[in-house]
Amino acid sequence: METRLFRQNVVFGAGALGSWLGARLAPPAVLVARGEHAQAMRASGLRLAGIENAVVPVDVADACPPLEADALLLLTVKATDLAAAARAVRERLREDTVVAVVANGLAPQEILGEALGRPVVRVVAEFGATLDGPGRVSAWGGRALLLHGVREDRVAAALAPTGLRVERIDDLARHSWEKLALNCVANPLAGLTGRRNGDLADDDLADLRLAVAREVMAVAALDGVDLPDELPERIDLVLARSRNLNSMAQDLARGRPTEIEHLNGFVARQAEAFGIDAPLNRWLAALIRLREGKTD
């Protein structure tokens, strides 16, 4: 396995997740961030909690810096911001830059890959992080899934010091649908209740979680991807072990647009295109649109 580290790591879109990953990558990344969070990190470093308690000095930039030879550019952006991120980094890429993405949605690597005209490594993230305030992030680890491959091996080596369980997969389509199912269960429920992932594993919500996951499984099957019957149980376990406030709850708390159209909204539209109904995903998407202040 190729484990040579990159000479430079840059994280574009360093919010909660990107800041934590970037601070702990080997070598530590330049964090491209803006606003109060960037200011606080510049002034006092990044304060980490959860998986470790530490204050880490970080290198912050407000735009993608010039990339050195043999660099990793890791994009940790919202599914809604992939096109804008591609525009913001395109001019900086060198021929040997490895681009990787940690993002929600079925295939963010394809959207970015198309926009950038190069292959993009997908890191399927079964982990999250919470921005507790400007310059303050809490994270509790989890699984990061990567395909086998030379570029993937190097990204895995860069991720090793984060403490994530980096696991290798053969079937990206299957794991992408599984991750989408996790997000379709967890994100709108947190968005509606403001509760952390662990709380969403409540027994009283078991039937709802199961029914939402089964709808996603039905759509995946029509897309040619058979998901394992035990997936709903695995989703429950991931949630029970996770203590972060998921990204949709954080977006809504900050009055930001959510990723709902890439999650439950996407599943509901795909279901319709396949001639079936996914009513729970459709209703959850409608409820989140209402919370966002959108009604169409």
Q: Which residues bind ligand KPL (CB under 6 A)?
A: 104, 125-126, 128, 182-183, 186-187, 197, 244, 246-247
Cβ closest to ligand KPL, residue 118 vs residue 291? 291
Q: DSSP state, 228?
A: P
Range 13-44 burial, b when 16+ CB lie within 10 A, else e: bbbbbbbbbbbbbeebbbbbbeeebbebbbee
CB of 90 to ligand KPL, least distance (A): 25
CB of 244 to ligand KPL, least distance (A): 5
Cβ closest to ligand KPL, residue 156 vs residue 201? 201
CB of 232 to ligand KPL, least distance (A): 15
Cβ closest to ligand KPL, residue 154 vs residue 262? 262
39-to-10, 75, 267 alpha-carbon distances in Å: 18, 20, 38
CB of 104 to ligand KPL, least distance (A): 5
Cβ closest to ligand KPL, residue 9 vs residue 247? 247
Residue with smallest beta-carbon separation from ligand KPL: 128
CB of 183 to ligand KPL, least distance (A): 5
Cβ closest to ligand KPL, residue 71 vs residue 125? 125
Residue given tokens 């949630």 in the structure block: 239
What number of other Cβ atoms are within 10 A of residue 93's Cβ? 18
Kindly state the tokens that stand for 12: 């574009």
Q: How many residues does the chain have?
A: 296
Residue given tokens 């709108």 in the structure block: 188
Angle formed at CA 128 by CA 125 and CA 131, multiple of 5 degrees: 145
The DSSP code sequence of 147-172 is ESSHHHHHHHHHHGGGT-EEEEES-H
CB of 173 to ligand KPL, least distance (A): 18
Q: In what order do the strands lie in the sheet with 124-126?
A: 124-126, 143-147, 165-169
CB of 88 to ligand KPL, least distance (A): 21
What number of other Cβ atoms are within 10 A of residue 89's Cβ? 23
Cβ closest to ligand KPL, residue 67 vs residue 213? 213
Cβ closest to ligand KPL, residue 244 vs residue 270? 244
Q: What are residue 71's DSSP bridge partners?
A: 8
Q: What are residue 125's DSSP bridge partners?
A: 144
